[in-house]
Amino acid sequence: MELRKGAWTKEEDDLLRNCIEKHGEGRWHKIPLLAGLKRCRKSCRMRWLNYLKPDIKKGNFEDDEVDLMIRLRKLLGNRWSLIAGRLPGRTSNDVKNYWSARRRRNMESNIAKDRPQQITKTTIVRPRPRTFTKSLHIPNDNAVTSKNSNLNTSSPMVRVNGIESMEDLANFCVQDMDSIFATSLNVAEESFDFDLWQFLQEEMI
DNA sequence: AACTGATCCAACCGCCTTAAG
DNA sequence: CCTTAAGGCGGTTGGATCAGT
């Protein structure tokens, strides 16, 4: 059977929505058949998760969402789905698109200002350091912030009271992000991330 | 009004992980 | 173990829309 590609029609959306309401989310390999759609399972899943799902939040990112996104991105790297999981109603595609757009804009503005690597230090009010448990150990190899760190396999784990995985850490950080940034994670400060803080500050003025 | 470049974002693609047989 | 199918993810693309001239 020839699979359809490209933009989804309203009819296709309705078929998919009805099918998922009837049969539930998941089992994506069966959805095209059940819904009568000439789409592949991935396309159906993507359409549902990024567009049709009822709790999806549309519109511009609010300041606090951007703030949290920046912090989580710094912590987790390009783990868009994890980051999106901490932003209610936002999808990984939203987060990824937002980040790409901002990064592009930021890089271009730097080029335009003829200061490729030169960063003007700006006073930024960061979360205040607080006392952190002595058992905190974060490896010094940047594994936590590395783009390529694989959370499910052999990456060194962060050990903080009861935190066994990066997922736990991400949850923890939302509650106590201050502490994390006050300790070791800022050792890998990158100029790129610094620019984003600058961007955020400018945005809020 | 027409054109053009910039931006947005939905969608595709390829790869990785996991589970089942 | 190995293979295969399915789910999931991140990177990228390209069409639609917007903004500026």
- Nearest nucleotide to the CA of A26, by C1', is C7
**pTM of the predicted model as reported, rounded to 2 decimal places:** 0.64
Q: CA at A137, C1' at C17: how many angstroms apart?
A: 49
Residue nearest to nucleotide C16 (CA to C1'): A7
Residue at A24 is within a domain: yes
Residue at A40 is within a domain: yes
Residue at A200 is within a domain: no
> Tens of pLDDT along A79-95?
999 999 989 899 999 99
Distance CA A31, CA A44 (A): 7
- Which positions of chain B lie under 7 Å from any protein Cβ? 7-14, 16-18
Q: Longest C-alpha distance within chain A, in Å?
A: 62
Q: How far is CA A161 from CA A57, A128, A136, in A?
A: 34, 21, 8
Confidence of residue A48 (pLDDT cuts 50, 70, 90): very high
- When the pLDDT of each residue in chain A is averaged and rounded to a whole number, the result is 65
Distance CA A1, CA A40 (A): 10
> Tens of pLDDT along A146-171?
333 333 333 333 333 444 444 555 45
Q: What is the extent of the structural domain holding A32?
A: 10-52
Q: CATH number of the domain at A37, please.
A: 1.10.10
Contact, A89 vs A55, CB < 8 A?
Answer: yes
Cβ-based contacts (< 7 Å) between A 90-149 and strand C = 92-93, 96-97, 100, 147
How many domains in chain A? Answer: 1
Cα A47 versus chain centre, distance: 18
